[in-house]
Structures are given as structure tokens and as C-alpha cells.
Amino acid sequence: MAEPQTLAQKLIAAACGRACVAEGEIVTCAVDLAMFHDSSGPRRLQPMLQELGATLWDPSRIVLVIDHYVPESDDESRRIVRIARDWAAEQQLPNVYDSLGICHVVVPQHGHIRPGMFCVGGDSHSPTGGAFGAYMFGIGSTEMLGVAVTGQIWVKVPQTLMMRWNGRLSAGVTAKDMMLHMIGRYGMNGGRYQAVEFCGEAVRALSMQERMTLSNMSAELGSQVGLIAPDATTVAYLREAGVTDEIDLARWRSDEGAQAEWHEFDAAALAPQVAAPHSPANARDVDQYGDVPLQVAYIGACTGAKLEDLRAAASVLRGRRLAAGMRLMVAPASQQDQRQAEAEGVMQTLREAGADVLATSCGACAGYGGSIPDGASVIATTARNFKGRMGSETAQVYLASPYTVAASAVAGRIVDPREFMA
């Protein structure tokens, strides 16, 4: 009888062609999908491939998303985007998403990530793929070169940290709050570069977009991957994304009795969280902030501007206006989500409240576009608030959920969004 395996072990075992693997083993895995964007991809890979005289192992398994330097606002961004477009054409890449939104949202929306896959991404938030029961993690350009040429990468089988959320979240509390709470409790190295798996009643109750937020921000927890066992919610999302493959739900879950370190949380007791500058680990309950005045609110990024995030913000802003002197910027995470939000009247609600709608790209989250003024106090739905991360070295950035950001934009200071919810 084989040892019980965690989901992480099962995914790695499948990728290296074994029945099972042991924690601490180093194995070579076949990569099912490699994703990179205009910032991490062609401009770095193309010269290295050229120097080696090497070719891509399988263009059909590569996904390129142009999302960081668009819309191009200067010569440097035009140069970077041109390299990406030219290289994609030259390599005849079949999966290119140009200016359609942020990679971590666009790639799942097109059905590229499915349970049981082993994937790498040229971006630190690539663990988003773990929400679908896939092993997906971020790598640098040199490692990506190895993958692009060989289709393989080595991995050390990690220990699994099980984050079990019991009970249900109350209204106005989200996956972003769950994540900030965990990072606040364990710090940015709390995942110790291991595998984190999110489970429990509260996790099963989350929609796919909310699960994606959890997995995405496992990067801020210091984990290699952030896994969630696939279920009927996963299948429904993938069917809508056009995936017709058979999905084996029974296989892709941790075995009873598999070796893991367990951590327990009470979802029902969780309050909205806010992380103070300059680290997501500075997270505490929203009521700890007293009257912190704000000048800018930003609803954007892969963790904070998907369709459900936009709906959450609109539910708070409906029939209200921004505080005097407040600027609210909304950068939807993908064009697909923005179209749906337009159809539902969500974007109209945001505009009527006084929001400026920006392009569907990484934008200010990646410090691009110069939209965060120097010295401003900012509340944002982004994943990170490191000094200078959003462009300005002197801005003070607080992190929160879309509910909290929208409520704070109305109040002009950090507030509990539940005060604004019927």
C-alpha cells in the first residue's frame, strides 16, 4: 500500500512519471504549460535563445500575454511591446493575448489551466493556477529559458501546509481578507517556500475568482504554490471557459492521512483586513486604523479587479459619491470581465460615483503609468504595497479588499465596509 500523498505530491508525481514521490526528493518534471508576459518574456528570452542557437520545445504549450507595458506610453514601453509582438509572430505562437487583460486572469479565462497540470509562469503571482488544482509556480528568465528549450524543470518535493478555514465568511469579508490575515499572522516567509493548500468549508464556498485571489497571494505568504482541490465549482468555470476534457476530481485531492502541517482558521470570526505600508504582513483588523485620511483609492490588479471585485465595489458605491478631494481609479483585470461589468451596469455605477476607468492591464500595480501621485495616502486592492512598488517612492499604500477600498473612497479615510452595506 503506497504512502498517502498530498495534492502537491500527486501533481509532481504525475509530472515526473512516477506513482508517488516523497517529501524532500528532487525530481525532473515535464511542463504542461509555460506562461510569460511582455515584461518577463521575449525581451529576455529572445537574445538568450539566439545566443544558444536554440529553438522552442513546443510553441503550443507556451502562452504569451501582453499586459505590463500596455497601453504603451513612452518609447521604452513601445520597444518592449514591439519585441514581444515581433517574436510571437516569428515563433508562430498560437496562444497570444495582446492587451486583453492581466495574465493571471486571462490565461484561466481561456481554459489553459486545468486540474492535474504542471505549469510555470514568468511572474511571481503564477501560483494563481493552483486555484484549479494545477501545480503552478513563478520562475525567473534563466529557468524559463531551460523550460522553453527542454520542456522540463527540476523541483524539490515540498512539505504541505494545510490552511483549513472552518465556517463561512460574513458579508463584506472576502478571500483578500483571508489572505491578508494569514500573511499578517505568519509573515511573508510563512509558507517557507513550501506548498500551501487551502481547504475547509469557507474555501469550498468560494467562487473560482475568489479562489484565484487566495492562490495568487500565496506568493506573498512565501509559498511556492497555493493549491485548492478541484470540485464542481472548478468544473463549471472550466466548462464556461470552453474546456471539454474529462476532469478527474477524485484523483486531484490530498489523501486522508497524508503528511502535512495543519493550521486552523475561523472564517465567521474574520473582520475586514487592511495592511499598512510597506508590507502585506502589516495586516490587522480594519477597526485598528482609526482615522487614517486617504487621497487615492485604486481598484485594480489580478487580486482586486476581477468581475466579482468590481461587483463588490459597486455594491458599496451605488448611489454614493467619492469624498471631496478623493480620486478613485478602476482598472478592470480583463476585457472579458469589463464587458460583463458593463452589461450588468456595474461600470456605470462606478463611473457615477466618480471613478476614473483605466486600461485593463497591470498598470499602477506594476508601477506603470504614473497614476499614483507622490506623497499620497493610497488604499488599493493590489497584492503588494512595498515602497515604490506602485511607482511613487513617497506614496503610502494600504492594502484591502474591493469592499473596503470602495467604502474608504466614500469616507475619505479607512473604514469598515460593513458600515456601508445594507
Percent of the chain with pLDDT over 70: 96
**Confidence band for 387, pLDDT divided at 50, 70 and 90:** low
Return the pLDDT at 373: 78
**Confidence band for 386, pLDDT divided at 50, 70 and 90:** low
Return the pLDDT at 151: 98
- The helix/strand/coil state of 201 is helix
383 neighbors 365 (Cβ within 8 angstroms): yes
Percent of the chain with pLDDT over 90: 83
Q: According to the CATH classification, is domain 273-420 in 3.30.450.20?
A: no
d(CA 315, CA 404): 11
Tens-digit pLDDT profile for residues 201-222: 999 999 999 999 999 999 999 9
Which whole number is the average pLDDT over 370-380? 80
Higher pLDDT, 85 or 291: 85
Return the pLDDT at 374: 77
Return the pLDDT at 384: 85
Measured over all CA atoms, what is the biggest interatomic distance in the chain, rounded to whole angstroms?
67
- 420: cell is 456601508
Tens-digit pLDDT profile for residues 111-149: 999 999 999 999 998 999 999 999 999 999 999 999 999
Return the pLDDT at 362: 72
d(CA 299, CA 155): 35
Confidence (pTM): 0.96
Which residue spans within 90-230 are E strands per DSSP? 96-98, 118-121, 135-138, 152-156, 160-166, 195-199, 225-227
Tens-digit pLDDT profile for residues 176-186: 999 999 999 99
Return the pLDDT at 72: 86
What is the average pLDDT value for the chain, to the nearest integer? 93
d(CA 183, CA 164): 15
Between β-strands 152-156 and 26-30, what pairing exists: parallel, antiparallel or unpaired?
antiparallel
Which whole number is the average pLDDT over 285-307? 92
Q: Which residues, 6 or more positions from 229, have their beta carbon under 8 angstroms from its beta carbon?
A: 7, 133, 197, 199, 252, 253, 254
Tell me whether domains 7-245+255-266 and 273-420 share a fold. yes
DSSP state of 318: T
420 half-sphere exposure, CB direction, 13 A CA radius = 27
- How many Cβ atoms are within 10 Å of 204's Cβ, its own excluded? 16
d(CA 36, CA 148): 11
Return the pLDDT at 370: 59
120 neighbors 103 (Cβ within 8 angstroms): no
Residue 1 confidence (pLDDT) above 60: no
d(CA 339, CA 281): 34
The structural architecture, per CATH, of the domain 7-245+255-266 is: 2-Layer Sandwich (3.30)
Lowest mean pLDDT of 109-123, 129-143, 282-296, 362-376, name the range. Answer: 362-376
Residues linked to residue 41 through DSSP beta bridges, in sequence order: none
Lowest mean pLDDT of 168-172, 308-312, 378-382, name the range. Answer: 378-382
Lowest mean pLDDT of 11-25, 57-71, 373-387, name the range. Answer: 373-387
121 neighbors 139 (Cβ within 8 angstroms): yes
C-alpha closest to that of 124 among 46, 228, 221, 238 = 221
- Sequence ranges of the domains in the chain: 7-245+255-266, 273-420
Which residue spans within 128-201 are E strands per DSSP? 135-138, 152-156, 160-166, 195-199
Higher pLDDT, 375 or 344: 344
